[in-house]
Amino acid sequence: MANYTTLEIVQENPNSAVFYLYLNRPNHRNALSRDFFTEFPRALSSLDQNPDVNVIVLSGAGNHFCAGIDLKTLTSISDQFVSGDRGRAGEKFRREIKELQEAITAIERCRKPVVASIHGACIGGGVDIVTACDIRYCSKDAFFSVKEVDLAITADLGTLQRLPSIVGYGNALELALTGRTFWSSEAKELGLVSRVFGSREELDNGVRVVAEGIGLKSPLAVRGTKAVLQRSRELNVEQGLDYVATWNSAMLLSDDLSEAVSAYAQKREPIFAKL
Amino acid sequence: MANYTTLEIVQENPNSAVFYLYLNRPNHRNALSRDFFTEFPRALSSLDQNPDVNVIVLSGAGNHFCAGIDLKTLTSISDQFVSGDRGRAGEKFRREIKELQEAITAIERCRKPVVASIHGACIGGGVDIVTACDIRYCSKDAFFSVKEVDLAITADLGTLQRLPSIVGYGNALELALTGRTFWSSEAKELGLVSRVFGSREELDNGVRVVAEGIGLKSPLAVRGTKAVLQRSRELNVEQGLDYVATWNSAMLLSDDLSEAVSAYAQKREPIFAKL
Amino acid sequence: MANYTTLEIVQENPNSAVFYLYLNRPNHRNALSRDFFTEFPRALSSLDQNPDVNVIVLSGAGNHFCAGIDLKTLTSISDQFVSGDRGRAGEKFRREIKELQEAITAIERCRKPVVASIHGACIGGGVDIVTACDIRYCSKDAFFSVKEVDLAITADLGTLQRLPSIVGYGNALELALTGRTFWSSEAKELGLVSRVFGSREELDNGVRVVAEGIGLKSPLAVRGTKAVLQRSRELNVEQGLDYVATWNSAMLLSDDLSEAVSAYAQKREPIFAKL
Amino acid sequence: MANYTTLEIVQENPNSAVFYLYLNRPNHRNALSRDFFTEFPRALSSLDQNPDVNVIVLSGAGNHFCAGIDLKTLTSISDQFVSGDRGRAGEKFRREIKELQEAITAIERCRKPVVASIHGACIGGGVDIVTACDIRYCSKDAFFSVKEVDLAITADLGTLQRLPSIVGYGNALELALTGRTFWSSEAKELGLVSRVFGSREELDNGVRVVAEGIGLKSPLAVRGTKAVLQRSRELNVEQGLDYVATWNSAMLLSDDLSEAVSAYAQKREPIFAKL
Amino acid sequence: MANYTTLEIVQENPNSAVFYLYLNRPNHRNALSRDFFTEFPRALSSLDQNPDVNVIVLSGAGNHFCAGIDLKTLTSISDQFVSGDRGRAGEKFRREIKELQEAITAIERCRKPVVASIHGACIGGGVDIVTACDIRYCSKDAFFSVKEVDLAITADLGTLQRLPSIVGYGNALELALTGRTFWSSEAKELGLVSRVFGSREELDNGVRVVAEGIGLKSPLAVRGTKAVLQRSRELNVEQGLDYVATWNSAMLLSDDLSEAVSAYAQKREPIFAKL
Amino acid sequence: MANYTTLEIVQENPNSAVFYLYLNRPNHRNALSRDFFTEFPRALSSLDQNPDVNVIVLSGAGNHFCAGIDLKTLTSISDQFVSGDRGRAGEKFRREIKELQEAITAIERCRKPVVASIHGACIGGGVDIVTACDIRYCSKDAFFSVKEVDLAITADLGTLQRLPSIVGYGNALELALTGRTFWSSEAKELGLVSRVFGSREELDNGVRVVAEGIGLKSPLAVRGTKAVLQRSRELNVEQGLDYVATWNSAMLLSDDLSEAVSAYAQKREPIFAKL
């Protein structure tokens, strides 16, 4: 696997289709540096194309998931664009923001489910990341903050676009306007995480069980579910139904369906080919 | 009333505007057969056109609400389309899926509110059905699963389109990717059901009270509320406000309004004509 | 400040950027009269244009937040349109409804955050108002009802458009079809309010703390957050990301950003200029 | 074939996949009666399901294509809804309009291309019909008018929704606000028809040639083209591209493709199986 | 009528429902000054509310329709925003642009049709204005240019939003990227104007005839046609059909309909009441 | 510059900001091979990033613009996906189609205007390419065909998505269903090309003049115009106006504006810095 300075990819078990992707700057609480934004989409793309991978777990090395964008990175980016012709600087800065956004959106572009396993701080850019993930679990010690407003920033890496569909528009507004910290239990109530585990160890085990479970399912059905849900988010119900009917007219009648039905009848676990 | 092999329609009380529609294959845990998909829209259409009906309660006969699509039905449908020219088979299969979808969407096309009264299993196709209903209540013993992924299927009867707006996009993804079972209390927390009753009997009584209550309200206002909420789901706020203003310019100034205001002033129950 | 018959504007503390806007017909439980619909957008516009104002708290004078539309107003409005040519009456009535709607939408048009501080009754038109606010807090004694259906009305002042994105589509349907009363704790569970305070006094204090907190943040970032979240509600994720990138290419590189970063480095509170 | 009082279906040539559907009340210039609105969707549905049909030509018997809605029909419909409770009448009238609309939309629901062959008058409801067709040709003597405004009607059978995408929004507004008559040559300039033939006979021949030509093409590709264009009309480019990619992943790899490629290499006409 | 410095309102004939609105700075070729942007929406609003007005003709005093934004206005606006904090300046400038846009959009907000009568130059801001009108006619001497790009401006008053639906997206791009001048005959071919008259006098007469014709039609149907076309522009076909059905359930069954039908039967001109 | 096997990039004049991109397989009438789809987006990206480039002219080497997809490419692609598990093959084939689509969409992603200069055949994939360009000119000998239907293909590289907004939905349907050939003069009438030149030489000269003209305009304004038009295509008018206001709040107040205004006052050509 490729070398990354801000990330690490680990396959814990060579027989497993679950791969772990770590934010890996633990001394900086995994704050997002400029390099991260280049490496992250590259890492996700390689996992997406690797047929051994069915599920990706995204986690943070060290004591925290992610402390948000690195302040030095923020300063150095903004320094690039404050001088010179205002219109030209604006055009270049807009492109820079879009490039940073693309790094986060890579999670959605990845056909395979990405499970966020969150402990400790998940702040600012960390929230941008987890709201782009497909499943979110956390440990009891996790805490969250849509912090950008406190740095005089209108959050621009995805939280304002994705959080409302996860926690509701009202909650998203309140969290983004106050920038207040909230804890794992509130994150669960809000629907930001689907489950809270008592400790980091329990989180690791719990996430492993869920991820391995998904990893054994039909990869066609899993990717179809992610793709169709994602697309339907922006279609109305009639359009979404038409889309999934079209999708399934191509993908449903596969070996996976017969295997799943046979296994069910034979009361055994189905075994699916790689995709 | 017409005869159905998979359904039963019951008017418990001849003075009431509440009609009960039962999924009625209790020996198969009300699994959805091919006949169901023909009979269900027909039954809903007849109830919609019947001026004696103001509210429909949808429930399952026997110990469960619905165990999902019948595996024999699934197998026989897929068998039809696996052979022959792939393109042609795809085109026909797509039409078949759209026809099955239409059966579920009939709940939304019905102008009158449909209240799902859920007990026991509500699995796969059962979730497709209840997410198309207007109100969902369940008993404590109810359990749910977006099960399709375990049959190697990308769910295509509506859950992926309707569940996100009910429980949030994040929760919908987690439920659909894991296919895990969840219980009445979690269904309540997620917003999938509005209330959990302690037993099936309490559920029946509770649903009756709510349904009778709606049945006594202005049928114009009830249908307007369902229609406008449904349409506004796919419009932005400005468009939705314009739509309801246009709607009410036609529907609001009715006898029902004067009756409601008079009754309120006279502290009596209003009585509304059929619609 | 201008004189209003249905409202009162109060700046509690001359050094504060938080202004209070009271629904001020306490003897009528702040029921919405025709005058309210003229005065309310005027008041919000004046606060929006006043550079001393960063945050608006919306509250009700007396024992209740708002009992909904005044029945006399309702009757007098409908009386205007029941006679005469039906098509012409429809056209005029539609314009009247749109004018009433505009009064509520003024909350969203106001660039500055509006915090609803709710106690006692919040019924019918009261719900229309609070669903248009940016943040909602209430005291334990608060109760809510989407009451319109009981007056034979399809709610047309915004609840049907805004409530679903706040509490989910399923909950919104159930509340609007039943018109049932629900209390502060359920409002919290549903996500309609972000926090419940034990008493009105605690509510006042709690709201003050939050509002003052927002009032000290960068006005550029706060308005950007409101504007971008509001616009993104109707765009898909890709469009929303592009929108905020464009927004920030104009607004991000401000004195506020450097002040925020400096203050953070110097571990002091940042001070932002008026906007 | 079924019997219709307002229509006639003709298969001119038993070896041909082109079927002719005539508006068949020549003594009334094919004005649209209430029966038409019931029979038309039924006829189109039967043609859609008939595997011998690949293309439908829609034409008018006698000297005109269609003079629009029958005034008696209009009067009798409106008479039904002028009395009684205004709100209830409005609700019923809205349903009636939607049923009439469905009859016209049946042209778009038909998977097979419908070619309008227009001569003489094409007025009011006639324009609603032809704008829903897939291809429009006319003879030199054809004339058109979006006439509804002169009957004090806001056109409600589809012209206002479909004409702008055909002739441009500006032209559609001008035609609909003035209700003016325009002739075949202007219809061609505006893009309303694709070709003008010198006489009715030339029209018949020309339409036959085109229709037979389409009738010999791959039915999968023809239906795909109609379906994808229709759906893409309401999607943005990115969504439309994704839709057609999904469509073709199911439908493209058919016997028709190999037959077409072989025939091309062998410089012969391809022959496709029925669909 | 109110006094305007940049406009003049003329009712040529006291018995007519057609009112003329002139851009009235002939010495500046009706270039748009800052005052224009305040006066124009005010004038349109007064005409909209005046029951004597059914149709508005928009024309230019002197030798030209409109030479675009006044360069002094442009300079003085931009001067206001070039200094000071870049973020704050951006926020204020954005509001200024939106206010200018609102002035043009006032044409669409006006319920009554606005007919642009164009002669001589129609450049830059002039194109923004006419693309917002409902009908466009010009004299042979008229010439047009989407000129903004030559002033280093991305056109922001509506041309980029409205021109594509009038002349097609391809033509709009070509015109906006080249900024080239085009003449009346090409404007007609492109669909930008519906008719070209040989001289200014013929234009005046031709426009009068059309405007008077519309002025005698049912005001309900005329406004309905404008409103429904405008709204349908942003809805898909299914949504647009539903919208017009809802609209007509309120507006269609009017005295105007019976008057129109009677007049038709009696072969006389119908006479409609004011609205 | 990089080496391409299917393309050639030429800067005719080292002082010019106009670069020529040639489809360069003249012996195959520039039919699109698999390599083309890899090289084309790469070439456009390099031109987009090159600050010396302001305008790109896309043309075909030899006697034709482009004969469409290479039949060998088509066959070899389809061969890859006909065998194996149908569902898996479908999933992979869908990705392949999307990758081919991305190659064409690269024209729209390029910030700089792409002018198609078309002579001879422009067929199938050639139409997909030119409909993605910003400006289209052709010589008299050019001919066009939306040919896919004759190869039993539902066109999937963009024509069905982009052609309707250029030539109208009605014309697009007729062209795509018949696959008929049409010539330069009809292409002009339809709005597919903006101008027809009498010969290839005149085309080359004419395109050069236009391209050089755009190349001298403010690069900020040119890119803004392309970007805003493209984005507005999928927004409604209100959203599009808001978008351009936000855009210009960042980009308008540039050196280019002052230079353009000064040059205008001084009656000289403006000179703009690179971007």
Contacts of E231 in chain D (CB under 8 A): none
Structure tokens at B136: 């969902």
Question: Any catalytic annotation for residue C206?
Answer: no
pLDDT of residue B2: 72
What is the C-alpha to C-alpha distance for residues E261 and E252, in angstroms, rounded to an integer? 13
Q: State yes or no: pLDDT of F182 exceeds 80.
A: yes
Question: Hey, is the C-beta of A10 within 8 angstroms of any chain C C-beta?
Answer: no
Residues A106/A45, Cβ–Cβ less than 8 Å: yes
Please, is C268 exposed, middle or buried when counting C-beta atoms within 10 Å of its C-beta (0-12, 13-18, 19+)? exposed
Tokens coding B111: 């102008």
Indicate if the pLDDT at residue A86 is higher than 80. yes
Mutate to test the interface with F, among C232, C246, C253 (most CBs of F within 10 A): C246
Task: Determine, for residues D170 and E165 on separate chains, whether the beta-carbon distance falls below 8 Å.
Answer: yes
Beta carbon pairs, B and F, within 8 Å: 4
Task: Per residue of chain E (275 residues), give pLDDT as tens.
Answer: 578 999 999 999 999 999 999 999 999 999 999 999 999 999 999 999 999 999 999 999 999 999 999 999 999 988 888 888 999 999 999 999 999 999 999 999 999 999 999 999 999 999 999 999 999 999 999 999 999 999 999 999 999 999 999 999 999 999 999 999 999 999 999 999 999 999 999 999 999 999 999 999 999 999 999 999 999 999 999 999 999 999 999 999 999 999 999 999 999 999 999 98
Distance CA E232, CA E240 (A): 5
For residues F275 and F273, give the distance between their C-alpha atoms in angstroms, rounded to a whole number. Answer: 6
What are the tens digits of pLDDT across the range C25-70?
A: 999 999 999 999 999 999 999 999 999 999 999 999 999 999 999 9
Write down the pLDDT at residue C84.
87
> Which residue of chain E comes nearest to C275, CA vs CA?
E88
- Tell me the average pLDDT across D161-168: 98
**B249 touches E at CB < 8 Å:** yes
Angle at A82 between CA A79 and CA A83, to 5 degrees: 110
Q: Residue F170: how many CB atoms within 10 A of its CB?
A: 25
pLDDT of residue E1: 56
Distances (CA, A) of E111 to B198, B228, C156, D171, F104: 56, 24, 21, 19, 42
Burial class (CB in 10 A: 0-12, 13-18, 19+), B82: middle
- Specify whether B148 is catalytic: yes
- Kindly determine whether residue D87 and residue B250, on different chains, have CB atoms separated by under 8 Å: yes
**Residue B1, pLDDT above cutoff 60:** no
Check if the beta carbon of residue A215 is closer than 8 Å to that of residue A18.
yes
- Answer whether A177 sits within 8 Å of C222, measured CB to CB: yes
Q: What DSSP string describes chain C? A: ----SSEEEE-S-TT-SEEEEEE--GGGTT-B-HHHHHHHHHHHHHHHH-TT-SEEEEEESTT-SB--B-HHHHHHHHHHHHSS-HHHHHHHHHHHHHHHHHHHHHHHHSSS-EEEEE-SEEETHHHHHHHHSSEEEEETT-EEE-GGGGGT----SSHHHHHHHHH-HHHHHHHHHH---EEHHHHHHHTSSSEEESSHHHHHHHHHHHHHHHHTS-HHHHHHHHHHHHHHTTS-HHHHHHHHHHHHHHHTSSHHHHHHHHHHHTTS-------
Query: In angstroms, rounded to a whole number, what is the distance separating the alpha carbons of residues B164 and C169?
Result: 9
Residue C128 is which amino acid?
D
Confidence of residue A3 (pLDDT cuts 50, 70, 90): confident
* Region for A119 from its dihedrals, namely left if φ exceeds 0, alpha if ψ lies in -120 to 50, beta otherwise: beta
Hey, which residues does C18 pair with through a beta bridge? Answer: C55
What are D71-79's contacts with CB under 8 Å, separation 24+?
D71/D31, D71/E261, D71/E264, D71/E265, D72/D33, D73/D31, D73/D32, D73/D33, D73/D34, D74/D151, D74/E261, D75/E261, D76/D34, D77/D34, D78/E252, D78/E253, D78/E257
What average pLDDT score do residues B167-173 get? 97
- With beta carbons less than 8 A apart as the criterion, state whether D218 and D162 touch: no
Residue of B nearest to D221 (CA): B87
Contact F173, D135 (CB under 8 A): yes
Question: Is F198 noted as a catalytic residue in this protein?
Answer: no
Whether residue A214 contacts residue A55, with contact meaning beta carbons closer than 8 Å, is answered with yes
User: Active-site positions of D?
Assistant: 69, 125, 128, 148, 156
E86 touches chain A (CB under 8 A): yes
E230-E235-E238-E242 Cα dihedral, nearest 10 degrees: -50
Catalytic, F125? Answer yes
Q: Are F70 and F29 spatial neighbours (Cβ–Cβ below 8 Å)?
A: no
Nearest one of C150, C104, C109 to C127, comparing CA atoms:
C104
A128 has catalytic annotation: yes
Check CB contact of B86 with chain F, cutoff 8 Å: yes
Residue C83: the pLDDT is 84
pLDDT for B82 equals 83
CA–CA gap between residue F60 and residue F4 (Å, rounded)? 14
Q: Which residue has the tokens 């995709």?
A: A275
pLDDT in tens, F126-174: 999 999 999 999 999 999 999 999 999 999 999 999 999 999 999 999 9
Do B85 and B53 meet the contact criterion of CB atoms below 8 Å apart?
A: no
Cα separation of B104 and B131, whole Å?
A: 10
Closest partner residue to A244 among B108, B160, B190, by Cβ?
Answer: B160
* Residue F35 identity: D
- 8 A C-beta contact, residue E149 and residue E93: no
Q: What is the DSSP letter of B156?
A: -
Residues 6+ apart with CB under 8 A from D201: none
Taking phi over 0 as left and psi of -120 to 50 as alpha, with beta for the rest, B94 belongs to alpha
Q: What is the pLDDT of residue E78?
A: 85
pLDDT of D78 reads: 85
More confident residue, F238 or F3: F238
Q: Is the pLDDT of residue D1 over 70?
A: no
Residue among B39, B70, B108, B128 flagged as catalytic: B128
CA distances for B32 relative to B77, B141, C152, angstroms: 13, 21, 37
In the predicted structure, residue F1 carries a pLDDT above the cut 70: no
Measured between alpha carbons, how far is residue D193 from residues D23, D183, D196, F170 in Å? 19, 11, 7, 8
Cα separation, E273 vs E48, whole angstroms:
16
pLDDT of residue A223: 98
Q: What is the 3-state secondary structure (H, E, C) of F190-256?
A: HCCCCEEECCHHHHHHHHHHHHHHHHCCCHHHHHHHHHHHHHHCCCCHHHHHHHHHHHHHHHCCCHH
Q: Over the stretch F62-98, which tens digit does the pLDDT of each residue have?
A: 999 999 999 999 999 888 888 889 999 999 999 999 9
Average pLDDT over residues D198-225: 98
Mean pLDDT throughout F241-270?
A: 95
Token pair for C208? 């003050």
Q: Which residues, 6+ apart, have CB-to-CB distance to F172 below 8 Å?
A: D229, F160, F163, F164, F166
Using a CB-CB cut-off of 8 Å, the residues of chain A touching C252 are 78, 93, 153-154, 156
By the 8 A CB rule, do D112 and D48 touch?
A: yes
Q: Which chain B residue has the Cα nearest residue C155?
A: B225
> What one-character DSSP code corresponds to residue D66?
B
Q: Could you tell me the sign of the dihedral formed by the alpha carbons of A76, A77, A78, A81, in that order? A: positive
Which 92-151 residues of chain D touch chain E by CB within 8 A? 93-94, 97-98, 101, 105, 108, 148-151
Q: Residue C246 is nearest to which of F234, F239, F246, comparing CB atoms?
A: F246
> By the 8 A CB rule, do C90 and E221 touch?
no
Whole-number pLDDT of residue A84: 87
Find the CB nearest A248 among B156, B177, B178.
Answer: B156
Please, are residues C133 and C114 in contact by the beta-carbon 8 Å criterion?
yes
Find the mean pLDDT for residues F254-275.
94
Q: Which residues, numbered 43 to 82 in chain B, qualify as contacts with chain A under a Cβ-Cβ cut-off of 8 Å? A: 71, 74-75, 78, 81-82
Give the pLDDT band (50/70/90) at residue C1. low
For residue range D74-125, what is the model confidence (pLDDT) as tens digits?
999 888 888 889 999 999 999 999 999 999 999 999 999 999 999 999 999 9
The residue in chain F having the minimum alpha-carbon distance to the alpha carbon of residue E91 is F249
| Inter-chain Cβ pairs, chain D and chain F, closer than 8 A | 155
- Please state, in angstroms and as integers, the Cα–Cα distance from residue A157 to each residue in A91, A97, A162, C122, following that order: 17, 8, 10, 36
- What pLDDT score does E3 carry? 87
Give the closest of F90, F148, F153 to D249, CB-based. Answer: F90
Rg from Cα positions in chain F: 20
Enclosing H/E stretch for F23 = strand F18-23
Q: For residue B191, what is the enclosing H or E element?
A: none
C-alpha to C-alpha distance for C112 and C46, rounded to whole angstroms = 11
* E253 interfaces chain C, CB cutoff of 8 Å: yes
